[in-house]
Every structure is written in structure tokens, then in C-alpha cells.
Amino acid sequence: MKSHTQYLHIHTPQRYQIVNITPQVEEALAKSGIKEGLCLVNSMHITSSVFINDNESGLHRDFLRWVEELAPYGVDKYQHNLTGEDNGDAHLKRTLMGREVVVAVTNGRLDFGPWETIFYAEFDGQRNKRVLVKIIGE
């Protein structure tokens, strides 16, 4: 079995932002040389997410509004912020949008359903973050 590990470096200009990382994951897969297997993509931070959905900007604004309704930003809203942080909302948003995705690799390609695209969702940005891409197979 072969394996390939790669770290994507992300630094969003905005505190809340959704980034299409599919091209970088496809690059990692090409570099791996793996034709059949599985590709794991996960955020390495507890205030950001990796998810799969449609590449449609209105939907992305809907996602950001939805998580803001469920876990609005607010320094005095969260017990976590008693530690001196202000990102209590970001931890909850991360859990809502998920940590990782796994995509099947078939014939050397990410075996997506129609319109599936991999996104990184940042909830406490403007600093350096990493995404792990791990591909295993033959």
C-alpha cells in the first residue's frame, strides 16, 4: 500500500471565509500516484472546518449566515471566552460544519458525486492554518 501526506497552508484575509481547496487536493492526489484508494482531508484546527458541498456563492453566504444564527459571535456569550479568547463561536461553528471529509479515489481521480467540491471553512481566520491531506491506496 502506498501513502502520501501533504499539508495545505491557508491564511484567509477575513475572519470568516469559505475557500475552495479542491484544486490543491487534486494536485496532492496527482503527486501521490495513487490510482485506487481513499483521500482524507481534515482541518488541523478546532476553529475551522472541511466540508463538501456545491460551489455556489449564494449557498456559501447561506452557510455562513446559518452558523452565525446558531453560534453568533460575542465575547461575553461563551464560557470559553472567559479564558481571554474571543473565539467561542468559532469552536461551535467548526463542530456544525465538520472536521473532515473522505473521498474515494478511482482511476486516479477524486470520485465525486455531481457538483461535489471540497471547501475549507474558516471561523477564526487572518492567521496561519493547515489542512492535512492523507491519501492511501495502490
C-alpha cell of 116? 461535489
CB of 89 to Zn ion, least distance (A): 10
**Residue 71 and residue 92 in contact, taking contact as beta carbons nearer than 8 Å:** yes
**Residue 101 and residue 51 in contact, taking contact as beta carbons nearer than 8 Å:** yes
CB of 121 to Zn ion, least distance (A): 16
Give the binding-site size for Zn ion (rule: CB under 5 A).
Answer: 2
CB of 91 to Zn ion, least distance (A): 6
Nearer to Zn ion, 26 or 85 (CB): 85
Residues 64-93 touching Zn ion, rule: CB under 5 A, are: 85, 87
C-alpha cell of 49? 472546518
**Residue 87 and residue 124 in contact, taking contact as beta carbons nearer than 8 Å:** yes
Write out the residues near Zn ion by the rule CB under 5 A: 85, 87
